[in-house]
Amino acid sequence: MAQVFNSLFGGGKAEAKPVAGDSDFADFAGSPGAASDAFAGAGPGIAARPYSKWYRLDQRFTLSDFKTEGIIFAVMAVFLVVHYIGSRLNRSKARAWAKAHAQLLAGEFALVGFDRVPAAVRAQEDEAAALETLAAATTSADPSKLLKENSIYEFASYASGRQNVAFVDTKLKLVKRFNPFMVIAEHILSFFVESLPPSVDTLEATLYPFDGKEALTVPGFAAGAANKSTYDGFVWAIVNKDRMKTVRDERFDVSITVTKDNAKLPAWLTVMSESAEITDALLTPELIKAAETAGENLDYLIISDQPIDKPTTLDEITARKRVFLKYRLPSDDNYESLLPIFSYFVRSADVLVQAAHLRAEVLRKIKNTREEIVKHIKKADADEKAEERAFEREKLRKQKRDAELSALDAKAQKKYLEREREKELRKASKKTTMRA
């Protein structure tokens, strides 16, 4: 009976045979003793897993198997470290500029930075504040609030609340130190492409004078008093000779001036003006001294009433008076030499209100220059409209021709095309005869 039961339900002993084609389980293809040894130590009722290096990662892999991953992580780590260091360097450079200019700006403007309430007003609202606190509030500013970070390489500042000046916008454009590969590429390209100079740390500031429009923005300002802040419009600049060609190519307003050296200025600076009388009025000893102190870090100081981009329509040629300053930031963050030119820039509106009132002959010459610009724009606009009309006429003629051809049979189409070809040949021969 037992033999029958075993034969029916497989109770007999069977020899362990190796599984063909699976090398991972070759170790268990031996005698039953090997299997019993592999299960040794397993508790009662627990199906223990047989020992094999397949289940031991430290035996299946070595560090050499992760070379690619290691290289990727190392490169990522380098990028992160360089990005972190470059970002900190740029922020540190921006803070150094803010610290050097905070007191100057606070002494000239009521509102410095991006606070909604001027420092002096906050001091007045505090009943416990003494007069010393109020005086300090009007001559100092918090450098941390002076700048706003638009990006890791661009910072902005703002100041308003001053006689003759509506507001001043300032931008710091720094080298992308967080991406050295881009910096290296820019330097390499600059050797081959003249129009792509390598990036440098620069300040670009724009001053917007009131020019008699105080009543539009300052509540309760008398119209008669506003007329005292007006001055005549023109384009005048002192420009670093090394950057003169780039400035003339990039800016339309400067392109209408005449370049002439001045003996009062350093050899590396030149004057770009619409009239010698304007130069005599604006080239003050204070400006000359400030430009000499700034050295070759100064790119330009431009006084303009014309657009920067070349106007293509009459609406774009609207006069808008502004003063522009651009200089390169020193590598050692020492701004002592650049503070005088920035101070003159802030006070330039006062100089213009006092001195920029020109004779009628000079104003007539400036007006003629503006009228020539308007004429060129009108002519270009008329030529463009004429081209559009000619294009529309040609388009209608082709539509009419195609309609006539489609209404004819094959024989008539052939005759039509022959007549058209003969007509074109007659026109061509007539043109040749007229030229001869």
Distance (Å, rounded) from C-alpha 429 to C-alpha 436?
Answer: 11
Which pTM was predicted? 0.74
pLDDT for 285 equals 94
SS3 116: coil
Burial of 416 (0-12, 13-18, 19+ CB in 10 A): middle
The answer to whether residue 246 scores a pLDDT higher than 60 is yes
197/293 Cα distance (integer angstroms) = 25
Average pLDDT over residues 76-102: 93
227 pLDDT exceeds 70?
no
pLDDT at residue 36 is higher than 90: no
Coil, strand or helix at 435: helix
Query: Residue 287 and residue 236: Cα distance in Å, rounded?
Result: 13
Span of 49-53, 160-164, 315-319, 411-415 with lowest mean pLDDT:
49-53
Average model confidence (pLDDT) for the chain?
81
Single-letter amino acid code for the residue at 107: G
| Tens digits of residue pLDDT in 125-146 | 454 444 444 344 444 567 778 8
Other C-beta atoms lying within 10 Å of the C-beta of residue 208 = 17
Torsions phi, psi for 423 (to 5 deg)? -65, -40
CA angle in degrees (0–180, nearest 5) for 190-196-200: 80
The Cα–Cα gap between 127 and 123 comes to: 8
- Res. 322: pLDDT tops 70: yes
The pLDDT of residue 379 is above 50: yes
| pLDDT in the model for residue 19 | 47
State the pLDDT at residue 427. Answer: 79
